[in-house]
Chain A
Amino acid sequence: MADPMRIRAAERDGVVNVKILMSHEMETGQRKDGSGKIVPAHYISKVTATHQGKTVLAAQWGPAVAKNPFLEFNFKGGKKGDKIAVTWEDNKGATRTDETTIN
């Protein structure tokens, strides 16, 4: 089971700033281990952020994104107390969703 994300969302002048920290290996599939075998690729391939159930950000990621990725974005129309949910899915089919409220 993957570790929880850290999500922070703050509203200022009608714009909500969302900061997300995800815990993931983000293995590129190009490294070799001590015995010379390729370490299989393992990375987040899809990220979705929703505001009150409505998608505000959808992204397709690849192995070029760093380990323990940090994602920050802004969107308009959120209010304090609204729910923000973020979901990631990796190339092995594992997924994780975490939620926070805007403050």
Chain B
Amino acid sequence: MTIRRRMIATMLAAGAAFGVSAQSSPEAEIAKYREALGAGNPADLWEARGEALWKQKRGPKNASLETCDLGKGPGVAKGAYAEMPRYFADADRVMDLETRLVHCMVTLQGFKFEEATKRTFGSGTNRSDFESLAAWITAESKGVTMNVSLAHPKEREAYQLGEKMFFFRGGPHDFACATCHGESNKRIRLQDLPNLTEKEGAQLAYTTWPAYRVSQGELRTFQWRLNDCFRQQRFPELKFASEASIAITSFLARNANGAAFNAPAIKR
């Protein structure tokens, strides 16, 4: 009896071990697939377009964005994204990249807010300037260590609001961000869900956006990722450049501190 029981136990253990290895091998295969795709990441095309847009004179004031201050001085893009969102004294508020770009389009190029934010996400041939600009600006931070500051009271305020939002349950599904992203080793279908409450998960998630989504044939920004999460939660639409949008970005960006920024990436 005991022998038989032990045999069953051994078989179960072997079965469990097999289950684990069978589960980790598709992930390894996906990692290989990502690596193979990485060599010719079409995000490059968006980067080139973004750089051209940055230098192009546009808007009622016929000005380029080359004097736009992303926090490292006018026109400096190198490493700027790794320190965003941050407090900007000239606007007296915390801004993420998109909000700052809108700010520059309004103040430097003379666009109206509504004009500047008309197309925040692109599809097909209707490309979004934000996705192109974000591709280039984030690429200028590739390899830079994430270092989002909470020194200013408004930065702390944004972070705390973002944290609250992350755990706030609501909507018809009674969902919070934490419902999907609060535990390790969870997935939706075959997609691994990063645990954003842990350093490793937060770093991996934040430092790999923007990304070229092969399934969509589009470059998608972190802002897009947030909006799609909100849609999946059946939350009200996350308003572009809103306080809520900046707050949740601040929370997630800060949690990624210490990791090397590694985007634009490529995802399935």
Contacts of A6 in B (CB 8 A): 44-45, 48
- Complex contact A70–B40 (CB within 8 A): yes
- Complex contact A3–B49 (CB within 8 A): yes
A62-85 contacts to B, CB under 8 A, are 66-68, 70-72
Q: Inter-chain contact count A-B, CB under 8 Å? A: 30
B211-263 contacts to A, CB under 8 A, are 212, 217
Contact of A68 (CB < 8 Å), options: B39, B45, B48, B125: B45
- Asked if B42 CB lies within 8 Å of chain A CBs, one says yes
Contacts of B49 in A (CB 8 A): 3
- Asked if B124 CB lies within 8 Å of chain A CBs, one says yes
Contact of A23 (CB < 8 Å), options: B39, B40, B41, B45: B45
Contacts of B40 in A (CB 8 A): 19, 21, 70-72
Which residue of A is nearest B214, CB measured? A66
A4, A66, A67, A68 interface centre (most CB from chain B within 10 Å): A68
* Contact-residue size bin, chain B (C-beta under 8 Å from the other chain): 10 to 19
A93 to B42, CA, bound (A): 23
A4 to B52, CA, bound (A): 11
- Complex contact B45–A25 (CB within 8 A): no
- Complex contact A72–B42 (CB within 8 A): no
Contacts of B44 in A (CB 8 A): 6, 21
What count of chain A residues pass the 8 Å CB interface test? Answer: 13
- Complex contact A4–B217 (CB within 8 A): no
A58 to B31, CA, bound (A): 32
A67 to B125, CA, bound (A): 12
A19 to B38, CA, bound (A): 12
- Complex contact B124–A21 (CB within 8 A): no
A3 to B44, CA, bound (A): 12
Contacts of B48 in A (CB 8 A): 3-4, 6
Contacts of A4 in B (CB 8 A): 48
- Complex contact A70–B39 (CB within 8 A): yes
Which residue of B is nearest A71, CB measured? B40
A25 to B126, CA, bound (A): 12
Contacts of A66 in B (CB 8 A): 217
Known contacts A25-B125, A68-B217, A3 near B45 by CB under 8 Å: yes
Contacts of A23 in B (CB 8 A): 42, 45
Which residue of B is nearest A22, CB measured? B45
A3 to B39, CA, bound (A): 20
Contacts of A71 in B (CB 8 A): 40
- Complex contact B124–A25 (CB within 8 A): yes
Contacts of A3 in B (CB 8 A): 45, 48-49
A25 to B217, CA, bound (A): 9
Contacts of A67 in B (CB 8 A): 217
User: In whole Å, how far is A19's beta carbon from the nearest beta carbon of chain B?
Assistant: 6
A6 to B212, CA, bound (A): 16
User: In whole Å, how far is A66's beta carbon from the nearest beta carbon of chain B?
Assistant: 8
Which residue of B is nearest A67, CB measured? B217
Contacts of A25 in B (CB 8 A): 124-125
Contacts of B217 in A (CB 8 A): 66-68
A4 to B51, CA, bound (A): 13
Query: Nearest 3 A-B pairs (CB), nearest first?
Result: A70-B40, A68-B42, A67-B217
Task: For the A-B complex with A19-B40, A66-B217, A70-B40 known, give 11 more contacts whose Cβ atoms are closer than 8 Å.
Answer: A3-B48, A4-B48, A6-B44, A21-B40, A21-B45, A23-B42, A23-B45, A25-B124, A68-B42, A71-B40, A72-B40
A interface residues with partner B (beta carbon < 8 Å): 3-4, 6, 19, 21, 23, 25, 66-68, 70-72
A-B contact pairs, 5 of them (CB 8 A): A3-B45, A3-B48, A25-B125, A68-B42, A70-B42
